[in-house]
Amino acid sequence: MTYDELYKKVEAQWHDSYKSKSWEIIWEIVKLHKPNEQGDCYLCTAEYTVTYPCLTVQAIEKELQ
Ligand SMILES: [Zn+2]
């Protein structure tokens, strides 16, 4: 799953759960793993895309299957 797919999936879950706090928290975590130059999560940054997804993102993806 690409980052954009994961993002949209979590956003949909959040919406379908009537904006539950639990999904909001997971969504916030996912946002921190957006591949970008700032490198909020150094394993998921542009420079290290070879290591995307990190274990945190993998755990979220696993639960979404
Ligand atoms: Zn990450």
Task: Output the CA 32–ligand 1 centroid distance in Å.
Answer: 7
Contacting residues for 39 by C-beta, under 8 A, at least 6 apart: 45, 47
User: Whole-number mean pLDDT of the chain?
Assistant: 89
pTM: 0.85
Task: Output the CA 25–ligand 1 centroid distance in Å.
Answer: 15
Beta-carbon neighbours within 5 Å of ion ligand 1: 33, 41, 43-44, 54
pLDDT tens-digit series, residues 40-64: 888 887 665 677 889 999 999 999 9
